[in-house]
Each structure stands twice: as structure tokens, then as C-alpha cells.
């Protein structure tokens, strides 16, 4: 292999990269040392803002295969042909901790998939838990402020065990179902390879004929689900803070490719209003006996990134990256998400973040958006506007019956009608094994014991008791607070 010659970024040959240019060998350093200035100035700019949530993550590339055509339900082209592989990039993440935080702390995990389809990028930005803490995007900044470090002392750096989290959560009863997941051992997965993924929000599939179906997404790991208990997760957080990142990287390096099966639950639009719960409420799951999981395809992750910063740190997902045949539901949490991701990426990565290697669609793109910081495309010709009589990209109608739902109502700022914050939390608790219940209770007690305000503890326990009296009693007993 030919030896690479070291140069400045402008191509000037570097004869010594370890000594600055000085007057005499003891200094001072000269302002004209452009080689030194370039090196230090670039170093000074190496960090970009970390993601406001999901800051620590690990990524891998691979492919997706659909088992059989989904044409009956969606015109999405990547869900039609079982012989066509769709390239994917997946980023797994923790949510609350900063970029340097430990992988195995109790938290939700992100499971974000970018499908590089022939119709553009489709992003399925999911988590490892099927429900969420809140149901209106308006509350998201408060949720995140409450879980992150407290503003006066910057403690704790990645843990829910503090006053602010439990204060907010105990005043947010719709989070009770989510607590039964996060504080079970699901909150401490043993491997990204052994973790489920869920779209959480409800989406719509639209067929060529205009038939629309409500959809919930599920990923199931081929290796099965495996979690740590609290003691093991805590120990590993100290011994190997990058445990989950390392586990994924090393498995792929060994050639042990990572596989997940892809399922959907479907609900006919006519059934939406007939449920005892609101199917668009992201704090709810759809009962699997009524809405069975239908296998759709499989995903294999078989390639590690070459460069973490370029390919993973700069990756940008957004639930609004759709392809024809997949639409949003009216779910208010999802609607808010569609704005938030691209907005934060314009700030975190800049106006042209979509041109970065992991984010660039493999299919051609064209429009009259131009310029901006770090533009790397060399646009051809004089036309950068439309309509134009002298060329430029032309618009094309989406194939099939157009998706154009009729929507009407008064403008309001209101909660949804069917709230029921506790039933599914109680059902989940009662479906758990003895060991699962023991761990849930111990994990809750361990976390709540960091709360210094007894009124907050009491309120949190009251919500748990509303889900199931036995759960409330068990947590009280765990505290040694029985009357």
C-alpha cells in the first residue's frame, strides 16, 4: 500500500506534526504557524451538540426483507417484493444519560431504523417498550427536564431516582403503565441483540386502492428477550459502562449477525371508535388476542460502522421520514414528534444534515432548496425556482387513490376523552410472574428511596395502588412503611 503523506487540510506538506513553529526552540510560538493554528482550531470544534435525548447510542448497518407482498394493506414499495433487500441502518440508544453515560442504567432504550428504500428514506423511530410516559407532545420538554439532572446541582446524571422525576411522574397518572415496564427488568436490557422494539405510536398503512389500516409496529429479536436484574445492571455500569455498545459491536465483528423479526398489529379504521380505550393513545397497548401480531419480514444487521462520528453520531432519524403508503395517525404525541426531530437536527447538525452519509437517501432527490452552511452538492444549471420554463425538477402525483381523510372539529386544548390511566398498568402487573413482581417492587423501592420529599413518594405510591392495590401495598411494604 502506498504510504499516505501527511498534509494540512489545504494540502501543504507537513514535515513535523509534533512541534510548533517558535522563535528559538523555547518559544514563543508564531501567529504565522498556520499548521499549528489549523490543527488546534479544528480540534477546538470537534464536538457537536449531543442529542437532547438519546445521546448515547450504538449503530449498525444491514438489510430488511419482507416475507410476502403487503400490497393488500400498503403501497409502500419496500413491502412488496420478498426477493428485494432494503438496506437499513439501526441506532440503539439510552434516553436520559449524556453521551458518556453508562449503557446499563435503568432507562428506556431507543430502537431507530432507517430503511433506504427506492422511494426515499423511511424511518421507524421506536423504543424497546411498547408504551410511553405521556400522550401529548406538549408535555415532552417537561418529561425530559424532570428525568435529566436537576438544574441547580446537575445531579443525577442518568437516573430516575430523584425528586424531580417522581414529582412530575406522580402528577402524570398516564405514566403509570409505562412505570410497570421501565421498573421491571425491561428497564435494564442485557443486550441490544436481545431486545424488542416497538413503534409505540399508531401509524396508518394505505393501499393503492386507498384502503387505510391503523398499524402498530413490533420488532422481536431472534435470540429472544434477555434482561439484567438491578444488581447485575448496576455492577456492569461500573465495570464496563459501554457494555451494550461493545456487545453489539463484537457480535457483528465475530460474524454473529443480529436478526429481528418484524410484525404489525392491524386495526380496521371502522374499529377505532369501538374500543374501550383510545387506540391512538400511546400509553396503551392493543390487546394481542384481539389484534394479533402478523409477521411481515425480518431485519439482519451485518455491518459495523467504519467511523462512529460520521455514521452514528451524525445519524438523524425522524418519524416524519415516510414513504407513500405509510401515514401518521392523529396521535398527538406522534404529531408533535414529526416536528421535533428535524427541528433539532437543523440545530444539532445544520441545515444540510440530510446530505451526511447515513442520512442521504439512496434514491435520487431533487428540489429547489439550495445553499446553506456546509452545502456539498454542486447544483447544475441556472434554474433554482419553480415554476420555470427552463427546466428544474417536476412534481409527480403519488400513485394510487390519494390519501385525503376528512377531518373536522373545534379548535381546543384538551385531553382525549378515554383516558383510563390505570387499567392496563394493573393488567400488566397481574400478568407478571412472582419473580417479575418481586423485581418490579424492589426496583421501584430502590428508585423511590432517593426521593427526599415524602409527599412525592406518597403520591407516586397512590398511583401504583390505583393500578393494583397489591402493587401499592407491596411498594409500601418494601419501604418498611406498613402501618
Judged by the rule CB under 6 A, the positions of this chain that interact with ligand HEM are: 51-54, 57, 91, 93, 110, 112, 125-127, 132, 137, 140, 200, 315-317, 333, 336-337, 340-341, 344-345, 348
CB of 337 to ligand HEM, least distance (A): 5
Shortest-Cβ-distance residue relative to ligand HEM: 110
CB of 412 to ligand HEM, least distance (A): 19
82 preceded by a cis bond (ω within 30 of 0): no
User: Of 25, 42, 54, 359, which one is the catalytic site residue?
Assistant: 54
Nearer to ligand HEM, 50 or 150 (CB): 50
Q: How far is CA 272 from CA 2, 223, 258, 267, 279, in A?
A: 65, 34, 35, 7, 6
**Contact, 278 vs 284, CB < 8 A?**
yes
CB of 392 to ligand HEM, least distance (A): 31
Nearer to ligand HEM, 54 or 428 (CB): 54
Nearer to ligand HEM, 36 or 328 (CB): 328
CB of 247 to ligand HEM, least distance (A): 17
Nearer to ligand HEM, 131 or 441 (CB): 131
Our answer to whether residue 127 is catalytic in this structure is yes
Our answer to whether residue 54 is catalytic in this structure is yes
Nearer to ligand HEM, 51 or 284 (CB): 51
Question: What distance lies between CA 264 and its chain's CA centroid?
Answer: 18
Computed on alpha carbons and rounded to an integer, the radius of gyration of the chain in Å comes to 25
CB of 145 to ligand HEM, least distance (A): 12
**Contact, 327 vs 203, CB < 8 A?**
yes
User: Of 121, 127, 227, 321, which one is the catalytic site residue?
Assistant: 127
Catalytically active residues, by annotation: 54, 127
Amino acid at each position: 500500500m502506498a504510504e499516505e503523506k501527511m498534509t494540512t487540510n489545504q494540502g501543504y506538506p507537513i514535515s513535523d506534526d509534533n512541534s510548533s513553529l517558535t522563535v528559538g526552540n523555547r518559544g514563543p510560538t508564531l501567529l504565522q504557524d498556520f499548521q499549528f493554528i489549523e490543527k488546534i482550531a479544528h480540534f477546538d470544534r470537534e464536538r457537536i451538540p449531543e442529542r437532547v435525548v438519546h445521546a448515547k447510542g450504538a449503530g449498525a448497518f444491514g438489510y430488511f426483507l419482507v416475507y410476502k407482498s403487503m400490497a393488500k394493506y400498503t403501497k409502500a414499495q419496500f413491502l412488496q417484493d420478498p426477493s428485494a433487500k432494503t438496506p437499513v441502518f439501526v441506532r440503539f440508544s439510552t434516553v436520559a444519560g449524556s453521551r458518556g453515560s453508562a449503557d446499563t442504567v435503568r432507562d428506556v432504550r431507543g430502537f431507530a431504523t432507517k430503511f433506504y428504500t427506492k422511494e426515499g428514506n423511511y424511518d421507524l423511530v421506536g423504543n424497546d417498550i411498547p408504551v410511553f410516559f405521556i400522550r401529548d407532545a406538549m408535555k415532552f420538554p417537561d418529561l425530559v427536564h424532570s428525568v435529566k439532572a436537576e438544574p441547580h446541582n446537575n445531579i443525577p446524571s442518568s437516573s430516575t431516582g430523584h425528586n424531580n422525576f417522581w414529582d412530575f411522574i406522580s402528577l402524570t397518572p398516564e405514566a403509570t403503565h409505562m412505570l410497570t415496564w421501565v421498573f421491571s427488568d425491561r428497564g435494564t436490557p442485557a443486550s441490544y441483540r436481545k431486545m424488542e422494539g416497538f413503534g409505540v405510536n399508531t401509524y396508518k398503512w394505505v393501499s393503492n386502492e386507498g384502503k387505510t389500516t391503523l398499524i402498530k409496529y413490533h420488532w422481536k429479536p431472534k435470540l429472544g428477550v434477555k434482561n439484567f436484574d438491578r444488581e447485575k445492571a448496576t455492577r456492569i455500569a461500573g465495570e464496563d459502562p459501554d457494555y451494550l455498545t461493545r456487545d453489539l459491536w463484537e457480535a457483528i465483528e465475530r460474524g454473529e449477525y443480529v436478526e429481528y423479526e418484524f410484525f404489525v398489529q392491524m386495526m380496521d379504521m371502522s374499529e377505532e371508535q369501538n374500543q374501550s380505550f383510545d387506540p391512538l393513545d400511546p400509553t396503551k397497548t392493543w390487546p394481542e388476542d384481539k389484534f394479533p401480531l402478523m409477521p411481515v419480514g425480518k431485519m439482519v444487521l451485518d455491518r459495523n460502522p467504519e467511523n462512529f462520528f460520521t455514521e452514528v453520531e451524525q445519524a438523524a432519524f425522524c418519524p416524519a421520514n415516510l414513504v407513500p403508503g405509510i401515514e401518521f395517525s392523529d396521535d398527538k404525541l406522534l404529531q408533535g414528534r414529526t416536528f421535533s426531530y428535524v427541528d433539532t437536527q437543523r440545530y444539532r447538525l445544520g441545515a444540510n444534515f440530510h446530505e451526511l452519509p447515513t442520512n442521504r437517501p439512496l434514491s435520487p432527490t431533487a428540489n429547489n432548496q439550495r445553499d446553506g452552511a456546509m452545502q456539498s452538492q454542486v447544483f447544475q444549471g441556472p434554474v433554482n425556482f419553480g415554476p420555470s420554463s427552463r427546466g428544474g425538477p417536476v412534481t409527480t402525483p403519488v400513485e394510487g387513490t390519494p390519501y385525503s381523510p376528512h377531518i373536522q372539529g373545534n379548535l381546543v386544548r384538551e385531553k382525549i376523552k378515554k383516558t383510563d390511566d390505570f387499567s392496563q398498568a394493573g393488567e400488566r402487573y397481574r400478568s407478571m410472574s412472582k419473580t417479575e413482581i418481586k423485581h418490579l417492587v424492589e426496583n421501584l423501592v430502590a428508585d423511590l428511596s432517593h426521593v427526599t420529599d415524602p409527599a412525592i413518594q406518597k403520591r407516586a405510591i397512590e398511583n401504583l395502588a390505583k393500578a393494583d392495590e397489591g402493587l401499592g401495598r407491596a411498594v409500601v411494604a418494601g419501604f418498611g412503611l406498613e402501618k
